[in-house]
Chain A
Amino acid sequence: MLQAADLTFGYGETPVVRGVSLEVPANGFVGILGPNGSGKTTLLRLLAGTRKPQQGIVRLGGTPLLSLTRAEIARRMAVVPQETQLAFEYSVLEVVLMGRYPHLGAFEVEGPGDVEIARAALTSTGTLDLEARMFSTLSGGEKQRVIIAAALAQISASAQSAEQPAILLLDEPTAALDLKYQLETASLLRTLHVAHALSVVVSTHDLNFAAALCETLVMLKDGRVIAAGPVDDVLTPGRIRELYDVEAEVARHARTGHLTVVPVSATSAHRRP
């Protein structure tokens, strides 16, 4: 679905992402884990094609991103940023309809079909009742859902065009949310992943969020991949120590069935080999 090979990128002299390769399988759910400043956001930008790698290549469905137009990429891949601040007062429905941009010609306006798609996206994120509200008046969790709805509207095929497998990239979707909204976002993403056969890539530093949701994990430290693979193989006390300098216990939770990470203490410098 989405492959990255040997990506290197830096904003100045020092690279932020160094030789990263990863693969998102069709209908996969991949978590990118790493501490603050490990290059997660930059890696997502490279995968989304909003930054061009200085080395390496990203392929979407086998085609190099650089040989696709921005609209072609946008029809198959949508990004949900950490936070969305609008410069002007738009209604929720207007924000979601903006997702239809890559499906319309330069002077074309949204038709009833597009409004239908936008409403369906609002319905599947449980925000249809907010459609007439001004986006700026929503809570953080509501904004998050509306932006996810806009992303869904963006990758929904029009009635006349063939359905293509689509992919959703989310940057730290829970960083600004309280516990309830974190859980709601997690269950929403799981539902979308299953119901819409969406591939999902989510960056996070929340180990338990990742363990509950993802099928495979990529651990990123200082812009390098230090581990990648199925959750059970990657989420080990040793890897967590390497990634975060934290001693943690990992156990399978009896009720949820997910791996659960309990941080115990910060690794002191003198105990390091």
Chain B
Amino acid sequence: MTSITQRLTLTLLVFGGLAVAAILLGPLIGSTPISLARVFDRSIPFADNPDAQIFFIARLPRTLAGALVGAMLASAGVIFQGLLRNPLATPFTLGVSAGAALGAMLAITFGWSLSWLGIPAAPVASFAGSLMAVGIVYLLATARHRGMSTNVLLLAGVTMNAFFSALILFVQYFADFAETFRILRWLMGDLDVSSYQPLVTALPLAIFSFATFAWLARPLNLMSLGPDAAESRGLNVLGAQRAAFLSASLATGAAVSVGGPVGFVGIIVPHLVRLLVGADHRVVLPASALFGAAFLIGCDAVARTVMSPLELPVGVITALIGGPFFLWLLVRRT
């Protein structure tokens, strides 16, 4: 059996290579073919170089958004599965996506604007909505128990999802057709990003979350044994649970504010990764983040080209792959 350091190095090389390849190839794929040589041809001024414009303005931000959203959703999925000790949990199990959707939808329907701050309102509102949802879930889960009850977390999350969905339908009743269309597109999960600004906004949250995830890897291994066993092995379980809940919620909220609630990335990727590298979170977490980035860029490339010149929302592709995959997981486990 190879040591953990060797396994980690190999994983970073393989999955890191995959992610880098996806980021380099992603912007080249699309309905208009572009040439990489012309993109980087310094002799043509940028204003006269459509290839470079498509590459840097239209496709690279979108590819990087795919990488960031994919990495955050996939690793947040790992964290939630470890926290809830349930391999079928997703980043959206605890109500993050429904809260985010409600926030985004309120912003779209009532035309909220933060233009005086130079940022669009929908991502901010969706981030606020996701934090509100997980905040309520957290308060419910810690209200009556010493520590955090993962059962209450799950039930409260499922209930919040249902309740927020009802509120979404209610608000949608007041939206006109154009707004309804925008809302629907948002709910599908779409990486329709055409500037670097959303990425720059989400980056600090991503860095904070990934740093916390790195620390959480070993505590999550112990928590697989159950909270009491983990505590008796020297882990401060409540502290680790809080850190896991907070960091994974922030990552999910940030990812959703960039790309909408792109489904199934947070469950497909961790499971494929575990099949390949085993269960140790110290390997699973970085591998999932890197593979999640590559996976979402790949899905988005398919979404942009499969019905060209029509561009499908990437959430449609991940759901078409993810639905059957989820069922396969269920059957395999029983």
Contact = CB atoms under 8 A, between A and B. Distances in A.
A88 B224 contact: yes
A106 B232 CA distance: 17
B232 A50 contact: yes
- Of A70, A81, A112, A132, the most chain B CB neighbours within 10 A belong to A70
28 contacts: A70-B234, A74-B234, A78-B232, A79-B228, A79-B232, A84-B226, A85-B226, A87-B81, A87-B82, A87-B86, A87-B224, A89-B278, A89-B279, A90-B221, A90-B278, A90-B280, A93-B1, A94-B280, A95-B225, A98-B221, A98-B222, A106-B215, A106-B218, A107-B215, A110-B3, A112-B3, A154-B233, A154-B234
Given A89-B274, A98-B225, A74 B232 contact: yes
A245 to B, nearest CB: 30
Interface of B: 1, 3-5, 81-82, 85-87, 214-215, 218, 221-226, 228-229, 231-236, 274, 278-280, 282
A71 B5 CA distance: 23
A102 B279 contact: no
A50 B225 contact: no
B52 to A, nearest CB: 41
Contacts of B282: 109
Contacts of A112: 3
Interface residues of A, number: 39
B3 to A, nearest CB: 8
Contacts of A107: 214-215
Given A101-B218, A109-B4, A90 B232 contact: no
- Of A70, A71, A88, A94, the most chain B CB neighbours within 10 A belong to A88
Contact of B233 (A45, A88, A89, A98): A98
A243 interface: no
Contacts of B224: 86-88, 90
A98 B217 CA distance: 12
A91 B2 CA distance: 13
B1 A102 contact: no
A154 B235 CA distance: 12
Contacts of A78: 232-233
Nearest to A100: B233
Contacts of A49: 232
Given A87-B82, A87-B85, A107-B214, A70 B231 contact: yes
B266 to A, nearest CB: 16
A79 B234 CA distance: 11
A95 to B, nearest CB: 8
